[in-house]
Structure formats: structure tokens, C-alpha cells
Structure 1
Amino acid sequence: MARNTLSTTAATFTATAALLLTACGGGSGDSSQDDINGTETGAARPSASESPSPSTRPGIDRPVIKLPSSFQLTFEDWKSSDAKQQAVLDDAREELRAGYAAITADDPDSESVAFYDTGSGRSQSKKWIKSYTDKSVTVVGKLPVFDPKVSLLDDGSTASLGYCTDESEAYTKHRETGETEGNPEYMDPHVYYQVTLRKSSQGVWQNDTVRSERGGCAK
């Protein structure tokens, strides 16, 4: 399920195969949580059925993103007492929700994803989404997203976000046969992500690059 992985020999970010189709995005990256020097966020964890509400910052007409009940994408401790960090968290959350909504809707050209991505980020996201849609699979089950750490850079228009996911109860489902597949037993279900975001002229924090490291965090 890992979105993008950076192998130890790769020079650029690459989109991985879809969850559980051959390799499950388990490339090793050169990133670590120590690279994220922001303040750790913290709040009460939502229930599995709770849906995050979209950002309500004024003046921005945001897309409405809906996920099917068959795939529960939950964001745990996704809060910060710092308003600027919270704005980054809000938009990063909606970008991830938009990506999985595009997979479940079989829509690699999703306008909602494009809204939350820069040009280069959009290219990465489309490759990731097509790694599912080209193979006629979707995602089902549960995917917790947790332990976010945000750092705002000095220019005020660039941010770094690290977070973890737990794929233990996430699966792919073949659209034609209905067959579901889970991670191999030997594969670590925890994946660490490092995202670079850039603030658009509209004030939207957009994903610019994403890389991941399987086994880079634990829950």
C-alpha cells in the first residue's frame, strides 16, 4: 500500500506497485523520522467510523471527497495547537483521502487529487493510482494513519510532514472476481512516509514529493 518508495539505488522518487500486487511498496528509503524536526502533534484518537471534516479556512472552494464504507481511512492524533501546522495537516489529510477516493472510484485523473498536488506531485500520485486502476483492483479494509510530525521551513511556503500507516487490516480487492489479498506474513505492515508540501497562491498546502520506508515506524 505504500504510495511511493525510494530504493537505496534510485535517484528519483518512483511510484510503487499497488498494495499486495507483487511487492507491496516495501522499498527502503533514506529518510527517517529524525529528518522531521517539527513539533509532534497530539489529540484524542477518533473512532474507526469517524470521518475527518474538510478544512474550513475561508476563501478556498475545496472539493468534497467521499470514501466508501468498505475502506476506512482514519487519522489518529491528527491535531496541532499551532494553527499553521494544523493547516498543513488538514490539506495533507485531504490529499491522501482524495488519492484513495480516486482508487476506489477508478479515476486516475481525479480533479480532487490535482487540487491537493503540485505539478510534480500530481505526476507521482497519478502513477500510484494507476498502479491500482490499471490492474482493476481497489482497496478495502482499514488503514490507520498516525504519528504526524510537521516542520515549517523558514520561507513559510514549504513544509515537511512525516507520518505512519498500519496496513495490517488493509487489502486489495479485484474488481472482476471480488478476490481480496493481504500482505504476506513476512512483510512489515508499518510504513513511514515523508512528504514535502508547498503552499499554493490560493493558500492550499499541496503535496510536492512523497517517499516511504517500510518498517520505518511501529505501532
Structure 2
Amino acid sequence: MRRRRTLPATLAALAATSLLLTACGSDDGGGGDDDKIKGADDASSAPPSPKESEKGVERPEIDFPSYAKNEFEGPTTGDPKKDAVLADNAERINSIDDAIFKGTTDTEALSFYSTGEALVSAKEFIDGYIEANDKWAGVTRYFDRTVSFRDDGAAVVIYCSDESGSVISQNPESEKLPDEPGSARAYVLYNTRLEQNEDGVWQTTNVISKRGAEQCAP
């Protein structure tokens, strides 16, 4: 069975902003009950609501089908500013999958959490699913998410994903999910730049990714 696709890497854009790829874990950086995926009751696909950026901002709804879930480990740091960045990072990830499930890039959430090169690459990624008439099923785990801040006020979020528990399928509701750990190719390292807009939302502006990254594999 096929594993999840990886977002296109926008290397040129990130080189211009001197956003360097570093290791994960650095100090800074419907259906009924029978249709539910294993572990779906253990954690929500939605991260905790942002603290710093939520005031006065009406956020778009993001809904996942019962057969899919994004799981975010260690969502809070105790630092309100970092937690707001991590919350919007998680919602950006969710907004991409929300668009995949809806079968369109014309969603409110997608442009709410992404802008610039990150929005372009997200649409390219989603279009790949739409053109193939694909969705995905299972659990994708996001972990070792770290935040640092640049002198220009932007935030950098570096994190890993584990796609070993999810698969691409044209019939995701009936897809048999993996029951064995995936190969190193199932682990992806992401390095993202976020900038806070006038509404206080931390929008992702640039992304690079590396599949099979040693920093993320067990």
C-alpha cells in the first residue's frame, strides 16, 4: 500500500530567508463506532485552541472523517507565544488534509493558515490527491515539534511526521491499515517559517521537507 505523499520542498525560497534545516528535538526549535480507526479515541485531530492569537479571530472549522486522524504529540510548551505558534502550525497541517478530504483547494482554512510559497506548495500537494481521486486513511503522527524566533519576528517550527500508520486510498473507509512499523521512508522532517499576520494568526509562509530523515526515524 502506498504511503502518504510529501509536501513539495520550496528550497529556493527558504534559502533566501536563511532558514536552515536542523535536527528535530533541538532546544529551540461519518461512520459508526465500527468505522473508527484504532486509537481515534485516544487523541483529537484538533490541537488545543491558540491562546495568544485567538482573541477576536473567528477561525474556520476543520472536519476530519472518522477514518483519518492527525495526532500531535507534546502540543504545549508553557510559553504562550510558542504555544500559539504550535497551535497554528497544527491547524495548518489539518487545513491541508481538510482540503484533501473536501476535494478542493478553495477552502477557507487553507488560506487562513498558509500564505506565499507555503500556500502554493500546499495547493500543489492537494491537487496531486484530487487529480488521482485519492484520500488517505489511518493515523499520521506529528512529534518533536520545536519553535524558535528570528530577529525579524518570524517563527521557525521544525517537526517530524510518522506516516507508517496511514495510507493513500481511493476507498479510505474500507482501507486495511498497516499493522507493522513502516520503513524509514515513512518518516519526514519538516522545517517551516511562520509569520504573524495583522489578526494575530501565525501563517506558514515557507516549507521544506525531507523524507526518510534520520532525525525522525526510530
TM-score of the aligned structures, taking structure 1 as reference length: 0.77
Q: Relative to 1, partners in 2 of residues 1:188 and 1:2: Cα closer, same or farther, differing over 3 Å?
A: same
Contact 1:172 1:180 in 2 (8 A): no
Instruction: Give distance in 1, aligned partners of 2:174 and 2:130.
Output: 14
Deviations 1:109-164 (A, max 9, x none): 222110011132211111111110111000111101111010011232x0100111
1:3 maps to which of 6, 25, 33? 6
Residue equivalent to 1:166: 162
Per the alignment, in what secondary structure is the counterpart of residue 188 of structure 1? Answer: helix
User: CA RMSD for the aligned pairs?
Assistant: 3.1
| Identity of matched residues, % | 29
Match of 1:25 in 2: none
Question: What is the Cα deviation at residue 5 of structure 1?
Answer: 4.4
CA offsets, 1:50-102, max 9 Å, x none? 34343252111111111111101110111111111111001111111111011
Task: Tell me the equivalent position of 2:23.
Answer: 33
Match of 2:83 among 68, 83, 86: 86
- 1:34 to 1:174, Cα distance in 2 relative to 1, 3 A: closer
Following the alignment from structure 1 to structure 2, what is the Cα–Cα distance between the partners of residues 122 and 136? 21
In the alignment of these two chains, the number of paired residues is 194
Structure 1 window deviating more from structure 2 (112-121 vs 127-136): it is 112-121
Tell me the residue number matched to 2:113: 116
User: SS of the residue aligned with 2:57?
Assistant: coil
Structure 1 stretches of 4+ moved >6 Å: 176-182
Decide whether the 8 Å contact of 2:158 with 2:190 is kept in 1: yes
Q: Partner residue of 2:103?
A: 106
Of Structure 1 and Structure 2, the greater helix share is in 2
Q: 1:106 to 1:130 in 2, by over 3 A?
A: same
User: Within 5 A, what are the aligned runs for 1:1-219?
Assistant: 1-6=4-9, 11=12, 31-33=21-23, 38=28, 48-50=42-44, 51-55=46-50, 57-156=54-153, 158-175=154-171, 188-216=185-213, 217-219=216-218
TM-score between the two structures when normalised by the length of structure 2: 0.77
Q: Is the 1:159–1:197 contact (alpha carbons within 8 Å) kept by the matching residues of 2?
A: yes
